[in-house]
Structure 1
Amino acid sequence: MIRVTDAPEIRTITIDRPESRNAFTPEGLSNLADAVETATRPVVYLHGAGTAFCAGADLDVVAGLNRESAEGFAEHGQRVANVIERTESVVVAGIDGFARGGGVELALACDIRVATPDATFAEPGVQLGIFGAWGGTVRLPEIVGLGDALDLALSGRVVGAEGARRMGLVSRITDDPRGVAEEIADNAPDALAVVKARVRDSASSGVQAAREAEAFGELVAEHAEDIAARRE
């Protein structure tokens, strides 16, 4: 269900199971992690085939789980989200149409989330007596704030693209989300990797400041000729 296409600066990963709105099985999650981990391009563009980004976990799979296997499925999804978050490449989620549950959670793990005007978002698990457990209860409040996170997670309501942008769930609304990935890929690959690492650093502020200064020095030395040429 994962299709990979490589261009010089961008790896495009397509969640390609449109008949189920790109819902994930455990095997599909493993394939997604592998596609992200093996990326050698500075930018990864993640999107869904058909009319959905991703419906999250395949409910046919969930219906067959017991307590132990359900916990394992949740942990598997968490590991995949962590792979997306921690990969050196900048990961851009292009969200067109339907994003629900685990699909929202995987998008939350991406570095940048871009929606089309037709994108919709929801955490409908509570309507079934469950909830999104692929790291969403951690990342959602970090990204949109506690109030909006609780509202989304406890109500199960559907939010459109403009509502998602207002709360910070997505940063842009555009007819061409891939264009944002291409815009980012026009920049220096090593600078992209460094900026992602620095912004996502969870160390103390003092440690972060030291790492920031060190990384800046390394990049200035590496790009001295480019910087000098820009001054001329």
Structure 2
Amino acid sequence: MNYETTWETLLCEVNEQIATITLNRPKVLNALNARVFDELEAVFTALSNDPSVRVVLLTGSGEKAFAAGADINELAATDATTGEAKARRGQAVFRLIETCGKPVIACINGFALGGGCELAMACTLRLASETARLGQPEVKLGLVPGYGGTQRLPRLVGQSAALRLLLTGEMIGAAEALRLGLVDEVVPTERLMTRAKELALAIVAMAPLAVAGCIEAVLRGSELGIDDAMKVEASIFGRLCGTADKAEGTAAFLEKRAPKWTAR
């Protein structure tokens, strides 16, 4: 796939096995509309099936916003039936991002509100600039988050902290988001993408099947009791023991050389 094809709402480029996707609607603070969801689905489906891409960086164009939320004009036109369909659509696309098999790093520059915050939470890791602002303000519109926010937020920050943010619609800064565990690291704005690439390159150096296995084990295990989750871990461990990469990794360690991964 030509990732640099003409997207209406996105930019995408691939370098050094790292794909960078940029939400590109700066005039509306990268608000999420139906077209954005269609294009996110298309590009992440392609990336998940591309072995040459090992890590994905996701950010927003301009300095003001990662994504300021759902398109309010679209929301205003929904009723009970179309509203549920809209929520299910957003949930499905964000779940695709979460389970695409590649680490996805949200690079949060500016506002990540409502659907934008939910998009960031669907990513594997979250880096925030010092000027980032995050929140779930849906209660101010007479709504609840509809793209997974009520489920992922408590898993990240705990039930009490999540309810405080959900019930007040409060917008918090990067430092508070880091304290709560909503983001993993805060960096100066000018260092955001550089730091994200450093982290991505560190992951690229690891065994790709093992990286995918770690993500799979955590996601599947988080939905199970501890005993069943341990079985999932053992199954993935056993599966990886039969791979060429495991043989290469152990041989390289014993021979004191750098491994050469083949994703087999």
Deviation at 1:210, TM superposition (A): 1.8
Deviation at 1:212, TM superposition (A): 4.2
Aligned to 2:95, what secondary structure does the other structure show? helix
Asked whether the equivalents of residues 69 and 117 of structure 2 are also in contact (C-alpha less than 8 Å), the reply is yes
Deviation at 1:139, TM superposition (A): 0.8
Q: From 105, 110, 120, give the equivalent of 2:123.
A: 110
Q: What is aligned with 2:229?
A: 205
* CA root-mean-square deviation: 1.7
Query: Could you state the TM-score of these two structures normalised by the residue count of structure 1?
Result: 0.93
User: CA 1:231/1:5 → structure 2, altered by over 3 Å: closer, same or farther?
Assistant: closer
Structure 1 residue 43 corresponds to structure 2 residue 59 = no
The superposition leaves residues 94-153 of structure 1 with CA deviations (integer Å, 9 ceiling, x where unpaired) of 001011001111111111011011111011111111121101111111111001100111
Q: From 157, 167, 186, give the equivalent of 2:205.
A: 186
The superposition leaves residues 40-88 of structure 1 with CA deviations (integer Å, 9 ceiling, x where unpaired) of 2110110000120001210011111222111111111000110011101
Aligned to 2:143, what secondary structure does the other structure show? coil
Report the count of equivalent residues: 232
Q: From 134, 137, 145, give the equivalent of 2:158.
A: 145
Query: Could you state the TM-score of these two structures normalised by the residue count of structure 2?
Result: 0.83
Asked whether the equivalents of residues 55 and 104 of structure 2 are also in contact (C-alpha less than 8 Å), the reply is yes
What runs of 5+ residues in structure 2 fail to find an aligned partner? 1-8, 259-264
Q: What is aligned with 1:68?
A: 81
Q: Distance in 2 between matches of 1:230 and 1:154?
A: 54
One-letter amino acid of the counterpart of residue 101, structure 2: E
Q: Distance in 2 between matches of 1:159 and 1:20?
A: 21
Where do residues 1-232 of structure 1 align in structure 2 (5 Å cutoff)? 1-39=9-47, 40=50, 41-50=53-62, 51-174=64-187, 175-177=191-193, 178-179=196-197, 180-202=199-221, 203=224, 204-218=228-242, 219-230=245-256
Between 1 and 2, higher relative CO (CA 8 Å, sep ≥ 6) is seen in 1
Q: Distance in 1 between matches of 2:156 and 2:179?
A: 12
Aligned to 2:255, what secondary structure does the other structure show? helix
